[in-house]
Amino acid sequence: MGNGIRVIVNSLAGRRQRGEPQNPPDIPGVELRWFWNPWPHWDKENNLSLVAHLNILGFKFLFPGDMEKDGFSNMLKHQLFASLMSGIDVLVAAHHGRENGKCEAMFDVHGCKPCLVVISDCAKKHQSQETVPYYYDKARGIVDFRGQGPRYVLTTRSDDFILFRFENGRCLVS
């Protein structure tokens, strides 16, 4: 692992050894769960990404960081994580949407069928747009995004800033 990740791993391990709480703040209407592959069994930086499952007022988001396919496959062996896949509404594509961040089992075996997939890659331009057609087939789509529709995949490269807001029991994307 690189020096930056080593510092984070050592810092978190130190907090755990000292018995410091590792719980997020309690925010009404928001539930956060996080998952990871255990170090040192997994020592590749990308597969040590923290995967966050965020439920905001019943709308479920998955933020997998730079997780790669083999790391996802390992996490899907755990029942709790695997059971969350079928309820995801918004998936932020792993590893900036690159091919090695795709985990077919997430969709084909565990029933992930989000309304929307977001590929975040504008800052470094990782040549990750080649996966857009794959995700089109996996998403259910949204009807109205900036007067366009339907949309299945949004990218920060093409769509720039993406805002999710919650009004009257709905999650709106603009």
pLDDT in tens, 92-148: 988 777 788 889 999 999 999 999 999 887 655 555 556 668 888 899 999 888 888
Would the CA dihedral through 52, 85, 81, 46 be positive or negative?
A: negative
Stated pTM of the model: 0.82
Q: What is the DSSP string of 14-74?
A: HHHHTT---PPP--TTEEEEEE-PPTTT--SGGGGPPEEEEEETTEEEEE-TT--HHHHHH
pLDDT tens, 156-170?
Answer: 888 888 999 999 988
- Give the pLDDT band (50/70/90) at residue 85: very high
Confidence of residue 80 (pLDDT cuts 50, 70, 90): very high
The more confident residue out of 88 and 21 is 88
Question: Does residue 37 surpass a pLDDT of 90?
Answer: no
Provide, for the chain, the percentages of residues in helix, strand and coil under a 3-state DSSP scheme, each rounded to the nearest 5: 35, 20, 45
Query: Please, what is the average pLDDT of the chain?
Result: 84
Would you state the pLDDT for residue 50?
84
With residue 132 as reference, give the H or E element that holds it: helix 132-136
| pLDDT of amino acid 20 | 66
27-173 is classed CATH 3.50.50.60: no
